[in-house]
C-alpha cells in the first residue's frame, strides 16, 4: 500500500533585504583600539540611541556559506509568489516483522520493503547512492539516500528545459535533509518513526537555482509538511515542532511553512511579524541571467565593500495600510479609472520602499545584472526592479498583469529565463 501526497512549493522574493555590515571598520571608519573587539554596526546604532536590527538571514546549505552568513545581522520582508515547484510524495507502507513471520508460516513470499530490515531475515546493506542526472529528465536514474536505520529516500527530479540542474549527492539534497531532520525530531519528541519503508519524491522543478528565490528551501518546507500529514501531526498543535525541524534544515525554511508576507528575524527562522498580503496581488516579472551567484561569494563581496541598509519603516507602513488596496480590488483596468489611479499611487509607494543592499555586491560579481536591471526598470509598465535575495534573479514590480506578461515575453524572446507572476496569500 502506498500513501500519496501532492504539494506545491512556492518561491519568494525579498521586498526588503537589509544586511548590516559586520564591523565599523568595514565601513572605512576608525578601527577598534588594540586589544578591543571590533564594534559591530548594531553596537554602533545602540550607542547612538537607535533601535537595533534583529538578526535574520537564510542559513546556507554549505558550511562555507553558513560561516559567511552567520557573521552578519540581517532583516528581510519575504513574500511568496506564484512561481512554484510541484512535489509528489509516495510513502510505501512499512512491512513489520510480524507480517513477515506470518507470511513465512503460511508459505507465502514476504512482501518486499525496500531498505527495510523487515524485508529480509538479515538487516540489509545501505542502498547504493547515485547522484541525480543533471539533465533533469524524469527517466534519469533516481537518487536514493538511506541506511538500515533511516527511511530510504528516492528523489526524482525533472525540470523545465530552460533550467539546468546541478548534480547533488542525495544526502546533500534539501529534501533528504528535511526528511532526516524530521526523523530525528520525531524520534526525540514523540518516540516514533515515520510509518513507511520507502519514500519516493518526484520533484517537478520550475524555480531556478542560485537565483535568490528560495526554491530549495520551499521544497524542504513542502517535504516537512508532507511528512507531518503522513504522520498525523497537526499544523496548529505541532507548529513548534515543525518550526524546529525547519530551522534545523535551513534558516528560511520556516518561512515557507506558512508563506504569505512576513518580516523575519533571527537567521531567517524566527517570525518577527506577519504582514498583510497586498490586495489585489502585486504583479511582478522574474528574470534570471544564465549565470547564477553563490550566497557565499555575494556576502564576501559585500564584506569587501559594505553598504548600509535602507530604512525598513516606509515599506512596513505601506504594507500595513491595506485599505486602499482593498478599495481598488476588482478593477480590471486599473490605470484607466480613478480608483485604479489610487492603486497605482499605492504601488508607487511600495516601489519606492523596496530595497536590497546586496545589489552592489552582486553587480560587482556579475556586471550583467546592473545592465539588465536598468533595462528591466525602463520597460513600459515597470515601476521598479530589484535583486532577488543574493541573486542572480531580478524581479520587477509592474502596474498590471498584462504589462507584466508583456515584459516577460520581451526578455524571453532575448533568451532569458523570464516569467510573469503574482504575490500569493497563505
CA–CA gap between residue 204 and residue 159 (Å, rounded): 6
Q: How remote is the C-alpha of 111 from its chain's centroid?
A: 39
Q: Which residue has the higher pLDDT, 408 or 269?
A: 408
**What is the mean predicted confidence (pLDDT) over 114-142?**
34
pLDDT of res. 179 = 97
Mean pLDDT of 91-116: 49
Question: Mean pLDDT of all residues in the chain?
Answer: 77
pLDDT at 57: 30
**Pair 314, 35: CB distance under 8 Å:** no
The arithmetic mean of pLDDT across residues 259-288, rounded, is: 88
- Convert the pLDDT of each residue in 236-253 to its tens digit: 899 999 999 999 998 889
pLDDT value for 109: 41
Q: Is residue 225 very low, low, confident or very high in pLDDT (cuts 50, 70, 90)?
A: very high
- Per-domain residue ranges of the chain: 2-11+81-273
Mean of pLDDT values over 414-424: 96
Q: Per-residue pLDDT for 147 more than 70? A: no
* Rounded average pLDDT over 106-115: 40
Q: How many CB atoms lie within 10 A of CB 319?
A: 22
Hey, which of 31-35, 131-135, 170-174, 369-373 has the most confident mean pLDDT? Answer: 369-373
**pLDDT band for position 33 (50/70/90)?**
very low
pLDDT of residue 142: 55
> What would the CATH number be for the domain defined by 2-11+81-273?
3.30.230.10
pLDDT of residue 146: 52
Q: What pLDDT, on the 0 to 100 scale, is given for residue 23?
A: 56
Task: Determine which of 104-118, 204-218, 331-345 has the lowest per-residue pLDDT on average.
Answer: 104-118
Q: 187 near 103, Cβ under 8 Å? A: no
Please tell me which of 10-24, 42-56, 78-92 the model is most confident about, judged by mean pLDDT: 78-92
pLDDT at residue number 94? 62
Q: Is 61's pLDDT higher than 60?
A: no
DSSP letters along 145-168, please? EEETTEEEEEEEEEE-TT------
- For 195-290, where are the E strands, in sequence order? 198-205, 261-265, 270-275, 283-288
pLDDT above 50 for 110: no
Q: What is the pTM of this model?
A: 0.76
DSSP state of 113: -
**Taking the CA of residue 123 as centre, how many other CA atoms within 13 Å lie in the half-sphere pointing to its CB?**
6
Percentage of residues of the chain with pLDDT beyond 90: 55
Q: Give the neighbor-by-neighbor strand order of the sheet with 394-398.
A: 382-387, 394-398, 283-288, 417-422
In angstroms, the CA 43 to CA 32 distance is 13
Distance CA 298, CA 310 (A): 18
Amino acid at each position: 500500500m502506498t500513501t500519496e501526497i501532492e504539494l506545491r512549493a512556492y518561491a519568494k522574493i525579498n521586498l526588503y533585504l537589509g544586511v548590516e555590515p559586520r564591523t565599523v571598520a568595514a565601513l572605512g571608519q576608525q578601527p577598534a583600539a588594540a586589544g578591543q573587539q571590533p564594534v559591530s554596526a548594531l553596537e554602533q546604532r545602540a550607542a547612538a540611541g537607535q533601535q537595533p536590527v534583529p538578526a535574520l538571514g537564510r542559513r546556507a546549505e554549505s558550511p562555507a556559506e553558513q560561516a559567511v552568513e552567520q557573521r552578519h545581522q540581517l532583516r528581510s520582508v519575504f513574500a511568496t509568489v506564484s512561481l512554484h515547484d510541484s512535489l509528489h510524495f509516495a510513502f510505501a507502507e512499512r512491512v513489520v516483522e510480524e507480517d513477515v513471520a506470518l507470511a513465512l508460516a503460511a508459505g507465502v513470499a514476504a512482501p518486499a520493503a525496500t531498505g527495510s530490515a523487515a524485508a529480509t531475515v538479515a538487516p540489509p546493506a545501505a542502498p547504493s547512492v547515485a547522484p541525480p542526472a543533471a539533465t533533469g529528465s524524469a527517466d534519469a536514474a533516481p537518487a536514493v539516500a538511506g541506511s538500515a536505520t533511516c527511511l530510504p529516500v528516492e528523489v526524482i527530479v525533472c525540470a523545465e528545459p530552460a533550467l539546468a540542474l546541478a548534480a547533488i549527492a542525495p544526502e546533500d539534497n534539501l529534501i533528504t535533509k528535511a526528511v532526516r531532520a524530521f526523523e530525528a525530531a520525531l524520534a526525540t519528541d514523540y518516540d516514533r518513526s515515520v510509518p513507511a519503508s520507502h519514500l519516493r519524491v518526484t520533484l517537478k522543478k520550475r524555480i531556478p537555482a542560485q537565483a535568490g528565490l528560495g526554491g530549495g528551501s520551499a521544497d524542504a518546507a513542502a517535504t516537512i509538511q508532507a511528512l507531518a500529514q503522513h504522520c498525523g501531526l497537526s499544523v496548529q498543535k505541532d507548529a513548534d515542532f515543525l518550526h524546529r525541524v525547519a530551522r534545523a534544515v535551513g534558516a528560511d525554511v520556516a518561512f515557507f511553512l506558512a508563506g504569505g508576507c512576513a518580516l523575519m528575524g533571527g537567521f531567517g527562522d524566527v517570525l518577527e511579524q506577519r504582514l498583510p498580503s497586498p490586495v489585489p496581488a502585486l504583479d511582478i516579472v522574474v528574470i534570471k541571467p544564465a549565470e547564477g551567484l553563490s550566497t557565499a561569494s555575494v556576502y564576501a563581496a559585500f564584506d569587501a565593500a559594505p553598504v548600509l541598509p535602507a530604512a525598513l519603516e516606509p515599506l512596513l507602513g505601506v504594507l500595513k495600510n491595506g485599505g486602499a488596496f482593498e478599495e481598488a480590488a476588482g478593477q480590471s483596468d486599473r490605470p484607466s479609472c480613478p480608483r485604479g489611479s489610487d492603486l497605482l499611487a499605492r504601488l508607487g509607494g511600495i516601489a519606492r520602499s523596496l530595497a536590497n543592499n546586496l545589489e552592489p555586491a552582486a553587480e560587482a560579481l556579475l556586471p550583467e545584472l546592473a545592465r539588465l536591471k536598468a533595462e528591466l526598470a525602463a520597460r513600459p509598465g515597470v515601476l521598479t526592479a530589484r535583486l532577488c535575495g543574493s541573486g542572480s534573479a531580478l524581479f520587477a514590480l509592474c502596474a498590471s498583469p498584462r504589462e507584466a506578461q508583456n515584459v516577460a515575453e520581451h526578455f524571453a524572446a532575448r533568451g532569458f529565463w523570464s516569467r510573469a507572476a503574482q504575490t500569493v496569500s497563505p
